[in-house]
Structure 1
Amino acid sequence: MTVDPAQYREEWQGRVAFITGAVTGIGLGTAQAFADAGMRVALSYRNEDDRAATEKWFADKGYETPLFCKLDVTNRQRFAQVAEEVVDHFGEVHVLVNNAGVSVFGPTDEASYDDYDWIMGVNFGGVVNGLQSFLPRIKASEGRRHVVNVASMAAFLPGPQAGIYTASKFAVRGLTDSLRYNLAPHGIGCSLCCPALTRTNAWASAQKRPEEFADAGFAPPKEGELEQFGTAFEQFGMDPYEVGAKILRGMSQQDGLILTHPEHAIDFTQEFAKQIAALPVEDCPPGRARIEELRRQAGRDAEAGLSVAMDDLT
């Protein structure tokens, strides 16, 4: 562990954070890191045993008991109720971490509508619901504020068994990169976090498929296949607390992109080279070049906190 959350206590002490999927895995690691930085937390959960274990961790540390909110992130009405509960309980809310997700794999050409609707509904729709429910309340609060959308390295690196999962993470990446420009004029930071292999039970998502999405196009996993896949997470995955501490550091540094694992430099290098090689070697007409420079300037202005209108792009 290279990040000590306590070093960020001065700037985050007393700030209120809401985290989805927060009683296991990366969500729990983030909640623990935030608490070690002096933050007050509201946590969404689905499983009562996981909630109880999380409450015990906070009690053992002598920390304030989190506000636990039972939530299916695809339920828009409930999400809006939770946002009200958080503000009613704490008075304000300053940080949103959209973390909840499902990891389901299979050949994309065999996927059913239910596969698409379930995975996209949780991984992308859950982020949308979080933003819709919490952004007005974060804007109404004061002081240091931030939004973190947790995606995955799949937001950059597609794979043959993860088409819909990858699509959902690419979508979160695009949404977050654009949202950053919109939140800057409000003084609200915005980060995309893309973790890689982490010690979580995300591999078991396929075993928790809701009945309303039962029509799977993917063949059922072979006996022991998921458990074998899960050994990679357990044996070699990063500690979720380390991921959470790096999220905290990234927020503190106002990083737009938070990468937590160092092992992907070769992937980024290869991908960059592939993209550069795909560009045509020819002159660009001056008019098109001017439009693209206006786009770049609009991005710089937005990151500096200026509002950008459609007229600024032409």
Structure 2
Amino acid sequence: MGWDGKVAFVTGGVSGIGFGIARAFAAAGMRLILSYRDETHRAAAERWFVDAGYVAPVFVKLDVTDRARFAEVAHEIDARFGRLDVLVNNAGVSVFGPTDEAAHADYDWIMGVNFGGVANGLVALLPLVKRGGPGGHVVNVASMAAYLSGPQAGIYTASKFAVRGLTECLRYNLAPYGIGCSLMCPGLTRTNAWDSALKRPDDFAESGFAAVDRAELETFGAAFDAGMDPFEVGGKTLAGMTRNDAVIFTHPEFAEDFREIYDASIAALPDEPVPEGRQEIERLRRAAARDAAAGKAIGLADLI
């Protein structure tokens, strides 16, 4: 797959992982549209592209929870480029706290950005990607939290599990169009994602979590200094897209976790005979999944 000249849109593309992906895309010759919310980050990103000798991206101001603005952005991309080859739903918030203390506002904010933002991007922009036909690609950025849970990340983890499930199913739906679809799950990356709690919108102020202790949060944020460079994450994302990987893992340090998940899952299955009727339904499900991955459009009739 050659990416030179392809048009790519990256949400949250002016800082952190999104900026790393954008830089990797620019190096591959793509034309970029990057969404942003912070003017300082936008200006710094623009300077980087100009100083590096690349054509400056098109920058669009966007809150990924704003469906009307997303529709406007889709029209702007169509008017300017007439196409969209790559969609990267990257924008998100990293907010933590014990789930048993969470309020509705906590769920609404975190799920609204991390899952709702992905859904809004797909509704607004998939028609443009599909119009371009075979060779397009969708990347939904999740996190290793899409597989690994913890005591301080309940809602965040739920949002990433949701993105994982959505992306795995979407891959089947896009295969008949010759459009790739990948779930990208980064581990610890050198970004400022830790400070999301300091940017909580007023509309979601009624949190059930304790008030943010800035000093404690900054101490937590120091751990991100040990993370992978975002440009390396971007390069691995591009390589995974080129291979049309279903899942793009950028960090190698999670083998122990996956072995534990596998062993615990197998051990939890009841050890008992399965009726033939149920076996047949699961056989049909597996066959439909294989056919969908190979590019066949699957309907409900294929599952029974």
Alignment partner of 2:233 out of 243, 265, 271: 243
Shift of 1:223: 4.3
CA distance in 2, matches of 1:264, 1:242: 18
Alignment partner of 1:112 out of 85, 103, 122: 103
Alignment partner of 2:280 out of 290, 308, 314: 290
Alignment partner of 1:308 out of 277, 298, 302: 298
Structure 2 residue runs of 5 or longer lacking an equivalent are none
Q: Give yes or no for the alignment of 1:132 onto 2:123.
A: yes
CA distance in 2, matches of 1:90, 1:222: 45
2:244 — aligned with what?
A: 254
CA distance in 1, matches of 2:80, 2:222: 40
Q: Tell me, yes or no, if the aligned pair for 2:133 and 2:178 is still in contact at 8 Å.
A: no
Counterpart amino acid of 1:140? R
CA distance in 2, matches of 1:90, 1:225: 45
CA distance in 2, matches of 1:134, 1:222: 38
Alignment partner of 1:121 out of 88, 92, 112: 112
SS at match of 1:12: coil
**TM-score of the superposition, structure 2-length normalised?**
0.99
Q: Give yes or no for the alignment of 1:101 onto 2:79.
A: no
User: Any idea what the Cα deviations from partners look like across 1:26-78, whole Å, max 9, x if unmatched?
Assistant: 00000000000011110000011111111111111221110100000000000
CA distance in 2, matches of 1:49, 1:125: 25
1:19 — aligned with what?
A: 10
CA distance in 2, matches of 1:63, 1:157: 38
Counterpart amino acid of 1:243? V
Alignment of 1:254-273 (within 5 A): 254-273=244-263
CA distance in 1, matches of 2:70, 2:276: 48
Alignment of 1:1-314 (within 5 A): 11-234=2-225, 236-314=226-304
SS at match of 1:262: coil
Higher deviation after alignment, 153-162 or 80-89: 80-89
User: What RMSD, in angstroms, separates the aligned Cα atoms of the two structures?
Assistant: 0.8
SS at match of 1:149: strand
Q: Tell me, yes or no, if the aligned pair for 2:140 and 2:163 is still in contact at 8 Å.
A: yes
User: Any idea what the Cα deviations from partners look like across 1:200-225, whole Å, max 9, x if unmatched?
Assistant: 10100000000000001000133410
**TM-score of the superposition, structure 1-length normalised?**
0.96
Counterpart amino acid of 2:44? A
Counterpart amino acid of 1:307? A
User: Any idea what the Cα deviations from partners look like across 1:254-275, whole Å, max 9, x if unmatched?
Assistant: 1000001000000000010000
SS at match of 1:261: coil
CA distance in 1, matches of 2:8, 2:172: 21
SS at match of 1:168: helix
Q: Tell me, yes or no, if the aligned pair for 2:88 and 2:138 is still in contact at 8 Å.
A: yes
Moved over 2 A (4+): none
Identity between Structure 1 and Structure 2 (%): 64
Higher deviation after alignment, 58-67 or 298-307: 58-67
Q: Tell me, yes or no, if the aligned pair for 1:67 and 1:86 is still in contact at 8 Å.
A: no
SS at match of 2:221: helix
Counterpart amino acid of 1:271? I
SS at match of 2:2: helix
